[in-house]
Amino acid sequence: MVRTCRFEELTARGMTEALEQTSLVYVPIGSIEFHGPHLPLGMDTIHAYEFCLRAAERTGGLVLPPTYWNANGHVGWPGSLLVSDRTFRALVKDIFRLLAEQHVKLVVATTGHWPARQGKAIDKLAKEAMKKNPDAPRILVLDPFGCHPTDKDPGHAGARETSLMLALRPDLVHIETLSEHPDAFDGIGEDAGEGNAKAGREYFNASLDNYVRIVKEALDDLN
């Protein structure tokens, strides 16, 4: 039987054995946020989770259930459920603490949402956790966009994110709505209709290759 890398699907013994083999846990963090009339509210989280799952297939380790809660984004737009910054920080700090208690050696926190804001917030919490606790795991904070070799600007619900969803979950994309709503492009990239699955796959894979390389180098440093 093939062992799953999904943390929540393992028994306690299965988790222990997996971490003994590769002491690595991926933490996918996204958002529930307005993404236009054509993309799912959880787009950022779905992207981050799929990214972590694909990486774990190549590096070993486990993937936590994705975290949808975040504190920054399109406040007041339909479907945006944003928690307070205090709540978000407490959640991420607890995740890092709990993984330290499980004696995980390497944690890879991966944000699919607004790397320039959310990624920096997570990175600050990671540095605090490592400084405060000498037994804390090494924590890398990465994102799929920052790992792309040439194009690090995700935009918001434009061609880039539309392409990624068409590649990962085409069943959740409704391109036709962009021509049905007169205000369809309010709050999103004006190039959203140009998204295509081929571009999404190419972008995803290019980012994943760099991401996996960084994680493997971190694992080598621990040995």
The Cβ of residue 44 has, within 10 Å, a number of other Cβ atoms equal to: 33
- Is residue 175 included in any domain, yes or no? no
The count of domains in the chain is: 1
State the pLDDT at residue 1.
Answer: 42
The answer to the question of residue 167 being in a domain is no
**The predicted structure's pLDDT at residue 152:** 86
CATH number at residue 119: 3.40.50.10310
Q: Is residue 130 part of a domain?
A: yes
Going residue by residue through the chain (223 aa), what tens digit of pLDDT does each one get? Answer: 447 999 999 999 999 999 999 999 999 999 999 999 999 999 999 999 999 999 999 999 999 999 999 999 999 999 999 999 999 999 999 999 999 999 999 999 999 999 999 999 999 999 999 999 888 899 999 999 999 999 988 889 999 999 999 999 999 999 999 988 778 899 999 999 999 999 999 999 999 999 999 999 999 998 7
- Residue 203 located in a structural domain: no
- pLDDT of 123 reads 97
Domain, as residue range, for 79? 7-149+208-217
Rounded Cα distance between 170 and 42, Å, is 14
pLDDT of residue 45: 98
Domain membership of residue 54 (yes or no) is: yes
Report, in this order, helix, strand and coil percent for the chain, each rounded to 5: 50, 10, 40
The answer as to whether 58 is a domain residue is yes
Strand order in the sheet with 24-29: 62-63, 24-29, 106-111, 138-142
